[in-house]
Amino acid sequence: MSDRGDGMSDRGDGMSEDRLRALLREEPIPGATEAKRRGLELIDSAYVERRPAQRPVLPRLAIALTAAALLAAFVLSPAGAAVRDWVGDVFTAGVKNAEPALTDVPGGGDLLVQSPRGPWVVHADGSRRLLGDYDAATWSPHGLYVAVASGRSLSAIEPDGTPHWSITAPGPVSEPRWSPSGFRIAYRAGRSLRVERADGSEGNLIAARSAAVAPAWYPPGPHLLAYVDAKRRLVLAEADSGKRVDMAAAAPGVIALSWSHDGGELLEIAPRGLWIRNVMPGKLSGLSLSDGPRRLGLPANAVVRAAAFAPSHHTVAVLLEHHSTAGPRSEVLLLDPAGGPSRRLFAVSGRLTELAWSPDSRRLMLAWPAADQWLFVPVARGPRLRAIANVSSVFSPGHMNRAAFPHVEGWCC
């Protein structure tokens, strides 16, 4: 890079090239140190999660030892008693004897599934409908409507696809979230965060710039919204006025938020950990974030793929991924935020990617793309584990090769 054949020699009539170089090098960048730290966390997580193109061929002994260790862990763990009858089948190729088709939603309720063709509604009896060419979707609180996003458009439609209204946002719409009251929809438009009345009549700006984290509505009902702003602060704001009720530094690397059902706790989810924060009645504002979040104990070197509070109690389910020379291993833990013992619910040799609670908090749905399966795992005694195979073809009918694996946007009511 020594060629300077640009004819840009100094003229002696103002700024020299060397002076310009110095100015460009020395210009201060706001928040550069924190940004560098955040970037390294993110890149390191992505690196850990990546799948090398050429994986080493493992000795059979290592595979056998890993399998044996997993099996022993299952049998010895408290959850092992409930899952012992099927764990032996669950290793690298998915659950054996999985049901070949989705004939019903185990445990009931309706699923909202985002596929390469757009979102689908799957009813409890297994019937399903493609809603249209939308990029994102979210249920209204009782499943009567779906908010869908496509480009700069946000629309409300019925689960049979009947449109009700549509607005054009100032930027590409993403992360729509319907409020528990049913009267508001929060969404990101480009980098901004906005709230729209659920009849599409009026909207307002909450933050001109926000982090790429889905906003989370305060469950008990008032139109309060938690979000992460562009400066990586966790903000609690009134949705109608945009007024900030309270604010605190967000947990490092936070990628998602989840409220407990009663609004007493807010979970901050990051690849490197889970942080929980008590939300207290405040003297002036009505609510305040507690001083500092508590970090929940997780196994060392585990990467958090997903986590969520149960819809009706304070249990947190977390999907963790571990890496070793034998490849990725996934496990689901049930955590007690109050500090009680955690419980391993499920584990496999392979990569699970999603976790969703059933509306009655009795099951967890897990996605296993490499096996093309959804797993419906019982949390309580009673129901049995069910595995559904050929998931991708269900949501991409007519696709010749295996289509992209769909993503569950919500499990309603």
Partner 1 sequence: MGAEVNERKLLREAQRGSRDALAALYEAHWGNAQRAAYLVVHDAGAAEDIAQEAFLAAVDDLDRFDRRRPFAPWLHRIVVNRAIDWARRENLRCSAGNPEHEPAIAHADEPAAGALMPALAQLPPEQRAVVVLRYLLEYTPGEIARMLALPRGTVNSRLRRGLDRLRELIEVEG
Q: Which residues make up the interface to partner 1 (CB under 8 A)?
A: 1-8, 10-17, 19-21, 23-25, 27-32, 35-36, 38-40, 42-44, 46-48, 50, 52-54, 170-171, 191-192, 205, 208-209, 212, 230-231
Nearer to partner 1, 56 or 398 (CB): 56
- Shortest Å, Cβ 172 to partner 1: 10
Rounded-to-integer distance, Cα 202 and Cα 187, Å: 14
By CB atoms closer than 10 A (0-12, 13-18, 19+), residue 23 is: exposed
Distance CA 267, CA 67 (A): 33
Residue 276 Cβ vs partner 1, minimum distance, rounded to whole Å:
26
Distance CA(149)–CA(143), nearest Å, equals 17
Instruction: Return the number of the residue (231 or 294) whose C-beta is nearest partner 1.
Output: 231
Sequence-ordered list of residues with C-beta below 8 angstroms from that of 365, at least 6 positions apart, any chain: 354, 355, 356, 357, 358, 374, 375, 376, 377, 408, 411
Question: Least Å distance between CB 37 and partner 1?
Answer: 10
CB-based contact 325:56 (threshold 8 Å): yes
Q: Give the nearest distance from C-beta 3 to partner 1 in angstroms.
A: 4
How far, in Å, CA of 248 to CA of 241, rounded?
19
Closest to partner 1 by CB, 169 vs 335, is 169
Q: Whole-number minimum distance, CB 47 to partner 1, in Å?
A: 5
Return the number of the residue (25 or 381) whose C-beta is nearest partner 1.
25
Task: For 55-117, give the DSSP string.
Answer: PPPPPHHHHHHHHHHHHHHHHHSTTHHHHHHHHTT-BTTB-TT-BSS--S-TTS-EEEEEETT
Whether 183 and 198 have beta carbons less than 8 Å apart is answered as yes
Which CB sits closer to partner 1, 172 or 359? Answer: 172
| For partner 1, the closer CB: 54 or 401 | 54
How far, in Å, CA of 108 to CA of 124, rounded?
A: 5
When the beta carbons of 20 and 69 are compared against partner 1, the nearer one is 20
Smallest distance, Å, CB 231 to partner 1? 7
Contact 200, 193 (CB under 8 A): no
| Minimal distance, residue 189 CB to partner 1, in Å | 9
